Amino acid sequence: MSKRRATAKHSIGPGFRSRPAWIAVIGWWSAVVLAIVATVLLNSWLADETRIGAQRAGIWLAGFAALAAITGWVGSIGSVLKDDGRVRAGASCLLAIPIVSLVMGIIAVSSTVERPTDPLPVLWVIISGLLLLVGTLLIVLPEHLGTS
């Protein structure tokens, strides 16, 4: 019986991704989409302050984006602990997003006071976007791609 259980655990195949890996990818991409929509709504409210509904929806969506980012972060931690190989490398890329954000935030607080035209926000978006894209591709793409 124990032999059957042990083989059933490993007989899933090389293309298997754990549930935390999928949760991480879905969480991070949901956070990105929700944050973009929240920013658009809040900007439209700032352009015309009579749009109170846009303000409320933007604030709620920003909160949901933060919740989705936390979900993605927890999923990334679970995937790093549970998966192996390429999927673990992808989860590590996703796990690096909050670390990069923290470092860029610390640098930006001290830098933007003295030099408000620093390219730090652009660098943060580029680095975070690359980590998100590479991490997603490493997790989602099939295992047999690139092999003959």
**∠ CA 62-68-70, rounded to 5°:** 110
Q: CB-based contacts of 116: which residues, under 8 Å, 6+ apart?
A: none
Domain-embedded: residue 5 = no
Sign of the dihedral through C-alpha 12, 16, 18, 19: negative
pLDDT score for 24 = 93
pLDDT score for 76 = 93
User: What total number of domains does the chain contain?
Assistant: 1
Decide: helix, strand or coil at residue 127. Answer: helix
Per-residue pLDDT of 10-60, as tens digits, reads 434 555 678 898 999 999 999 999 999 999 999 998 888 888 888 899 999
Domain-embedded: residue 3 = no
Structural domain boundaries enclosing 54: 22-142
| Whether the predicted pLDDT of 7 surpasses 50 | no
Domain-embedded: residue 14 = no
| Its pTM surpasses 0.95 | no
